[in-house]
Structure 1
Amino acid sequence: MQTIKRQSLIAQVTDQLRAEIASGRWSVGDRIPTEPALCDMTGTARNTVREAVQSLVHAGLLERRQGSGTYVIATDEQEVAFADFFAAARRQDLMELREALEVTAAGLAARRRDDADINTLRVAQELRNRAWTGVVDPGVAVDTDAQLHRAIVAASHNDVYLEFYDSLLPALRQSVAQRDVASGPSYTELHDAVVDAVIAGDENAARTAARDLLAGVEEFD
């Protein structure tokens, strides 16, 4: 960071804090420096820093946690806007979007997956299966489900797909969390079929398995 020397201090400090997040120096989940530390880093008064931080809280990039500090929860405003839009979308619209994205991504993943992807998929598959066997913690079950789906999309090696899917993930987590995770079906076999087809490099089978999985989830809902 550089010391602020010009006018419009709040806007300039806000831009600098945003730049720290966008650059990855402050990642999602990180606690940002305290207000006194930010004052030293920017050469501005505490009120200026507080207003700048609050601006990014309103933008959805930061979250204040009582007694703990302020944390990064998103990397840019567009991501937040997408998440809010998807969260408000009709469930049917969301499922149709998932089918268009995840079925194609599964086929691409089967064609393009590498050894690192295979290892990631196996780990994600194992974690999900464990979390969904006699569900003890619904939150963990939802998170492991989301991470497995994301790993499949990541294995497609299409950066645009993955960026868009990351914007969709909060809404997908919320959708899964609304179900009775503890007593409802686990869909373990359907998830395994997608992972196995991707790892086997069978593009047609991967697409079919992904479509069957989403159809199974939609039918239960």
Structure 2
Amino acid sequence: MNNRFTLPQAPRRSLVDSTIELIRGQIEGGAWKVGERIPREQELAEMLEVGRNTVREAIRVLSHGQVLEVRQGDGTYVRTNIDPAEVMRRVGRSGLREHFALRCMLETEAARLAAVHRSKADVGLLRRLLKARGEQEQHASSAAFAEADTAFHCAIAGMCGNGALAELYRYFANSVRMNTLTALKDKELPEPGLATHEAIVDAIERQDGEAAAAAVRNVVAPLIAALEKSG
């Protein structure tokens, strides 16, 4: 393996974070490919002009995120060129319009599939979660309302019968909650009421996938339209 290229020196603002970003950048850029061993700690420390402890901590973080794999006595290998945690951070930094557009895509398909796979118990759960969600003014805080709203939508994803979609939405849920809170602070944006959410559950109960998908779009579309108009 040729390690003769040079890396930019890590900025001093946060050595561990900067080192993580630089190592991740080399992996994403293809300098170190999946399955390839990266330079050893001492080499990386010299390339980045940081201490070995900083490099070791950066590798620990990336290994915990399963980007790197540490093989005792052998070295550290690239496991994937995509850092799931960083991807979600980037998703979290996207604009509100992009967030709700992505959310609409995921929730539309989740509702469509949930209508096919739901059980009687699933419908009962959705009714209870929707009652707990209620309207915003019923809650002591916007955070409590956002939490209840997110729990409702997560439950739909959880009963869609597609484990990959359910896990993706569960991972996406923190971004959903945070962006819901952001939207609630903007009084110019419409807040989807209880009735529009009840239409989703009604369609799922009837096992009408197309109606369930349409009901989700009716919830999110006014928000997207308002954001497009303001943006």
Q: TM-score, normalised by structure 1?
A: 0.60
- Of residues 147, 153, 158, the one that matches 1:149 is 153
- Of residues 102, 111, 115, the one that matches 1:106 is 111
- Distance in 1 (CA, whole Å) between partners of 2:193 and 2:83 is 32
The offset of 1:220, in angstroms, is 4.5
- Distance in 1 (CA, whole Å) between partners of 2:174 and 2:113 is 23
Equivalent residue of 1:179, what SS? helix
Q: CA RMSD in A?
A: 3.1
- Distance in 1 (CA, whole Å) between partners of 2:165 and 2:184 is 29
- Of residues 205, 210, 215, the one that matches 2:216 is 210
The offset of 1:152, in angstroms, is 1.0
What amino acid does structure 2 have at the position aligned with 1:126? Answer: K
Change (3 A) 1:127 1:182: farther
The offset of 1:204, in angstroms, is 1.6
- Distance in 2 (CA, whole Å) between partners of 1:94 and 1:181 is 16
The offset of 1:182, in angstroms, is 10
After TM superposition, list the pairs within 5 Å mapping 1:138-217 onto structure 2.
138-180=142-184, 185-217=191-223
The residue that corresponds to 1:70 in the other structure is none
Q: How many residues in Structure 1 have an aligned counterpart in Structure 2?
A: 156
Unaligned ranges ≥5, structure 2: 1-55, 66-81
The offset of 1:92, in angstroms, is 2.7
The offset of 1:83, in angstroms, is 2.7
Deviation track 1:152-205 (CA, whole Å, cap 9, x = no partner) reads: 111211100011111211111111111336976352111111111112211121
The offset of 1:89, in angstroms, is 1.8
Deviation track 1:12-69 (CA, whole Å, cap 9, x = no partner) reads: xxxxxxxxxxxxxxxxxxxxxxxxxxxxxxxxxxxxxxx98xx56x968xxxxxxxxx
- Distance in 1 (CA, whole Å) between partners of 2:184 and 2:98 is 21
Preserved contact between residue 106 and residue 194 of structure 1 (Cα < 8 Å): yes
What amino acid does structure 2 have at the position aligned with 1:112? Answer: H
Q: TM-score, normalised by structure 2?
A: 0.58
Structure 1 stretches of 4+ with a deviation exceeding 6 A read: none
- Distance in 2 (CA, whole Å) between partners of 1:168 and 1:124 is 19
What amino acid does structure 1 have at the position aligned with 2:119? Answer: D
Give percent identity, aligned residues only.
23
The residue that corresponds to 2:27 in the other structure is none
The offset of 1:97, in angstroms, is 1.6
- Distance in 2 (CA, whole Å) between partners of 1:138 and 1:95 is 18
Unaligned ranges ≥5, structure 1: 1-50, 61-76
The residue that corresponds to 1:136 in the other structure is 140
The offset of 1:147, in angstroms, is 0.6
Preserved contact between residue 197 and residue 206 of structure 1 (Cα < 8 Å): yes
- Distance in 1 (CA, whole Å) between partners of 2:182 and 2:98 is 17
Higher mean alpha-carbon deviation, 177-186 vs 161-170, is at 177-186
What amino acid does structure 2 have at the position aligned with 1:83? Answer: M
Preserved contact between residue 118 and residue 160 of structure 2 (Cα < 8 Å): yes
Deviation track 1:114-163 (CA, whole Å, cap 9, x = no partner) reads: 12311221111111016x24432211100000010111111211100011
Higher mean alpha-carbon deviation, 146-155 vs 85-94, is at 85-94
